[in-house]
Amino acid sequence: MFSRLSSKLIAAFVLVIFLCLFLAGTSFIFLLRGYQTRAALERLADISIPVSLQVRLLDRAGVPPEQMQYQLKDQASSLAARILVVDQDAQVVADTGGSLVGQRIHRPDRRFSSSFSPALFGTYTDAAQQTFYLVSTSTFDLRDRGLAAGYPQSAYSAILAVPQQSVTATWLELAPSLSIAAAISLLVSIVVALFLSRSISGPLAQITRASEAMAAGNYDQTINVRSRDEVGRLASTFNAMAREVANSHRTLRDFLADVSHELKTPLTSIRGFSQAMVDGTLKESAEYVDAGRIINEEAERMARLVEDLLYLSKVESGQESMERQALDLADLLRACIRHWRPQANQAEVEITLDAGENGAITGDMHRLEQVFDNLIFNAINHTPPGGRITVQSQDIKDGRSPHLEPATDAVVVSIHNTGSTIPPQDLPRVFERFYQVGRSAARDARGTGLGLAIVKEIVQAHGGTVEAFSSPDGGTKFVVTLPKNPAPPEHGTPTATKRRA
C-alpha cells in the first residue's frame, strides 16, 4: 500500500493533520467545558439572590416547606435548575426535583465571585452517585447589599442545584457541528496533501525513470527543474551529472574508436611486412632490412602510443603528481628552444624568445619542459618555410591574472606561429585525445595524437590553464598561464621521468 513515496507522503500528511485536528478539538472541548461550567455557576449565582429572598417571603407568610416545593417548581423549571430548601441543620425540607427531600447535604462553603453577586459554591453526591453543583447566597451577602433589610431571620435557606453531567455535557450539542467541520477540514487537507506530495514525488519519480533509462544505456536525459528547493537542486545536479556521464560515454566511445584507428595502421604495416618475410615475397637482403626497419618503427610508434596513454591516464586520475621545486621559467624556455632550433632551421622557420624577468615559479621542471617541448614541436610542424615562431613570457603580479580563480600571481607563456591557422570548428577540440585538425591531414611519425591532451593535463595539474587562439591574419597562438605557487599535490608520488609526445 505504501510502496510509493507519494502514498507515504499522503499518509504522513493525513496522519499529522488528523492528530492536529484531534488535539485542537480536544483542547477546544476542554476549554469549552470549563467555560460552560463557569457560565452555569455564574448564572446560578445571579439568580440565587432573588430565589433566597422569595424563600424568606414564603417562610414569613407561614407557607410550610411542602407547599414551598410546589410553589417553586414552576420557577425552577423556567430557571433550568433545582431549588432546594434546607433548614438550619442542612437537611433538605423541599426539593423541586423531589429526590433529595430528607437528605442532609453539605452547605456550599467555597466563595465564588460571579459577574453580579458573590456566592457560595459546593458539590454534593447523592445515594445514586449523581453529583450536583450547589450555589447559594449567604445571609451576610444579603445584608451587605441591603437586600435583607426589614426581613426577619428565616429558618430556611435556598440552594440552587444542577446535575454536574448536564453542565459538562453541554458540549455534546456542538459535537455534530464540530464533526462536520473536522470532516471538511480533513477532506480539504487530503486534497492539499495530495498536491504537495505530487509536487515532491513527481520530480523524484522523473529522476528515478531517468536513472533507469541511463542504467539501460540511454544517457541523454534531462529533468525539468520547476523549483529552487532541495528537490529542484537535486534535479539540477542530476542534469549536470547526466551531461557529464553522456560526455564521458561519448569520449570513451570516441577514445576506443581513435585507439583502434591509431593501432590499425602500424599493425597493418607490421602484419604486411612480416607476412611478406614469411611467404618469401621479399628476395633481396636489402628488402629484408627495409621491412625490419619499418616493423621496428611501427612497433616503436605503438610503444609510444601505449606509453603516452598510460601516462595520460595516470595524470588524469591524479596518480602522477607533480614535483614542487623552484625553477626559472625563462631558463627552461631557453633550453627548450636550444633543443628544437636545429629542427626549426631545417624547416626554414625562425624561432625567437622574449622572456621577461622574475620568471621564478614552483613546479615540476621535467613536466613543464614536456609541455613547452610539445607546443614548440607542433609550432615547427605547422609553420610553413619562411615563417616565424615567437615564444614570449610575461609576469602577472598583484593577483590580477584573469585566467586563474582565485586570482593569484602568475606567469603567462605564449607560443605564436605565423602562416598556419586552426579552423573555428576545430579550435575547441584541439586538446582532445587523438583529435586532428583536418582528418585527412597526415600526422608526423613522431606524434601519437596525445601531445596537446597531455599538455592540458600537466598544466591543470600545476593549477594553470592553457588556451588556443587562431585567425587567418594573426596565425595560431597557445597561451599557458601558470601560478607562481601552485597548490601542493594530493595524490601519487613525485616523478622526474622525462617524456615527449
Q: Distance between CA 414 and CA 77 in Å, rounded?
A: 110
Q: Could you give the residue ranges of the DSSP H alpha helices within 383-432?
A: none
On the question of pLDDT at 437 being above 50, the answer is: yes
Residue pair 434/450 in contact by the 8 Å Cβ criterion: yes
pLDDT of residue 409: 79
Q: Is the pLDDT of residue 426 over 90?
A: no
CB neighbour list of residue 395: distance below 8 Å, 6 or more residues apart: 356, 357, 358, 359, 409, 410, 411, 412
Cell numbers representing residue 131 in the block? 453529583
Q: How many whole angstroms separate alpha carbon 256 and alpha carbon 252?
A: 6
Most confident range, picked from 175-179, 264-268, 456-460: 456-460
Q: Determine the pLDDT at residue 407.
A: 56
**In Å, how far from its chain's centre is CA 212?**
21
pLDDT at residue 59 in the model: 79
Q: What is Dmax (Cα atoms) for the chain?
A: 162
> pLDDT by residue (tens digit) across 227-238?
777 777 888 888
Q: CA-to-CA distance for 490 and 215, rounded, in angstroms?
A: 32
Instruction: Using the predicted structure, report yes or no on whether residue 261 has a pLDDT greater than 80.
Output: no
- On whether the CB atoms of residues 326 and 362 are closer than 8 A, the answer is yes
pLDDT value at position 170? 60
Mapped onto helix, strand or coil, the DSSP state of residue 358 is coil
Task: Please determine, for residue 365, whether its predicted confidence score (pLDDT) is greater than 80.
Answer: yes
Helices H, strands E: what count in the chain? 10, 15
Rounded to whole angstroms, the Cα distance separating 439 from 261 reads: 12
CB neighbour list of residue 252: distance below 8 Å, 6 or more residues apart: none
pLDDT, position 143: 47
Domains and CATH numbers, the chain: 5-174 (3.30.450.20), 230-313 (1.10.287.130), 322-494 (3.30.565.10)
Residue 269 · residue 301 · CB < 8 Å: no
Q: Residue 98 is placed in which grid cell?
A: 423531589
499 secondary structure, DSSP code: -
Task: Summarize pLDDT for 193-219 with one digit per residue, the tens.
Answer: 777 777 777 777 788 888 888 888 887
Q: How far from 364 is each of 376, 391, 457, 485, CA to CA, in Å?
A: 18, 20, 13, 12
Model confidence at 223: pLDDT above 50: yes
Minimum mean pLDDT among 199-213, 257-271, 331-345, 394-408: which range? Answer: 394-408
For the cut 60, the answer to whether the pLDDT of residue 401 exceeds it is no
* pLDDT top residue among 114 and 476: 476
CA atoms within 13 A on the CB side of 113: 0
pLDDT at position 228 is: 76
Q: What is the pLDDT of residues 459-484, one digit of tens each?
A: 988 888 999 999 888 889 999 998 88
Q: Identify which has the larger pLDDT, 8 or 393.
A: 393
Higher pLDDT, 173 or 182: 182
> Which residues fall within 8 angstroms of residue 144, CB to CB, at 6 or more apart?
none
Average pLDDT over residues 366-380: 90
Average pLDDT over residues 421-440: 74
d(CA 497, CA 199): 57
Q: What is the residue whose three cell numbers read 626497419?
A: 293
Who has greater pLDDT, 390 or 230?
A: 390
Span 297-337, pLDDT tens digits: 888 888 877 877 777 777 766 666 777 888 888 889 999 99
Which pLDDT band holds residue 101 (cuts at 50, 70, 90)? confident
Grid coordinates representing 27 are: 483542547
Query: Using CA atoms, how far apart are residues 372 and 340, in angstroms rounded to an integer?
Result: 11
The answer, yes or no, to whether residue 371 has pLDDT greater than 80, is: yes
Q: Distance from first CA to last CA of the chain, Å, rounded?
A: 62
Q: Are 437 and 452 in contact (CB under 8 A)?
A: no
Question: Which pLDDT does position 317 carry in this prediction?
Answer: 66
Least confident stretch, 28-32, 221-225, 349-353, 491-495: 491-495
- What is the per-residue pLDDT for 2? 55
| 3-state DSSP helix/strand/coil % of the chain, to nearest 5 | 50, 15, 30
Give the percent of the chain with pLDDT over 90: 10
Mean pLDDT of the chain: 78
> Which pLDDT does position 152 carry in this prediction?
52
At residue 391, the pLDDT reads 93
Confidence of residue 442 (pLDDT cuts 50, 70, 90): very low
- CA nearest 456: which of 438, 471, 448, 468? 468
- Say what the pLDDT of residue 493 is: 39
Task: Give me the pLDDT at residue 398, please.
Answer: 58
How far apart (Å, rounded) are the C-alpha atoms in residues 132 and 329?
A: 104
Question: For 143-159, how does the pLDDT look when each residue is reduced to its tens digit (9 = 90+)?
Answer: 444 544 444 556 788 88
